[in-house]
Amino acid sequence: MKWSGMFEARNLHALDFGPYNFTLHPGECLVVTGPSGSGKSVLLRALADLNDSEGEVILDNSPRRSMSGPDWRKKVRYLAAEPGWWAETPAGHFHDAGWLSENLALLGLEQTLAERSVSLLSTGERQRMALLRALEDSPTVLLADEPTAALDEEATAKAEKLLRDFTTRGGILVFVTHSIKQAKAFGNKHLKLERPAERGNAA
């Protein structure tokens, strides 16, 4: 029997990093750890096809090249460590105002925050808004780059609950973290990255 719905990286290289190889089934979580400069964000961006990379990334037996970049990224969703904003208010970044207001409370966010100027939100508030934004319209895979780095303990617990619900529903999670506790609690699989060896080509 052939497995369906898997997310696979085969011999993936990006910039100086790689090769990366892994296979994730629906509902699984891959935790990525490693020091700064070990290519964690590069890996996530390559998986989302936001960076140029070699090798293959496959979702549900379809290689990324079989669909357009935007179509791929609708399914394989990258959440940056420092998310960007293009509209004035957080609400302006969502398609469905009803969905947003239902989910704000799950992360301990006031309803009024959605209509405030993005620049007036705290770092932690923005990070939670970005997490919601990435989960809206249900991606198949979520690539989250330190999604709780700016959150206090209580907010972290709420965000983790949201991420766990995502995998329980069959979502695949790839998740960069510096917290050993979080890595142990979350990962079905663990990818530990190291800085690439000094290769002597400073260019």
Helix, strand, coil: what percent of the chain each, to 5? Answer: 40, 25, 40
Cβ at position 77, least distance to other proteins in Å: 7
**Contact string 163-192 vs other proteins (x = CB under 8 A):** ------------------------------
203 binds other proteins (CB under 8 A): no
The least CB distance from residue 136 to other proteins, in Å, is 8
DSSP assignments along 30-52, one per residue:
EEEE--TTSSHHHHHHHHTT-S-
Tell me if 79 contacts other proteins by CB under 8 A: yes
CA distance linking residue 195 with residue 97, whole number of Å: 42
Contact 18, 123 (CB under 8 A): no
Helix or strand run (H / E) with residue 183: helix 180-186
Measured CA distances, 68 to 33, 72, 126 (Å): 30, 6, 29
Q: If binding is defined by CB under 8 A, does position 52 make contact with other proteins?
A: yes
In the complex, least distance from residue 66 CB atom to other proteins, rounded to whole angstroms: 12
Question: According to the binding rule CB under 8 A, does residue 96 interact with other proteins?
Answer: no
Q: Does 84 bind other proteins (CB under 8 A)?
A: yes
Strand pairing category for 141-145 and 172-176: parallel
Residue of 12, 42, 47, 48 that binds other proteins (CB under 8 A): 48
Question: Which residue ranges make up the site for other proteins (CB under 8 A)?
Answer: 48-52, 68-71, 73-75, 77-80, 82-86, 130, 133-134
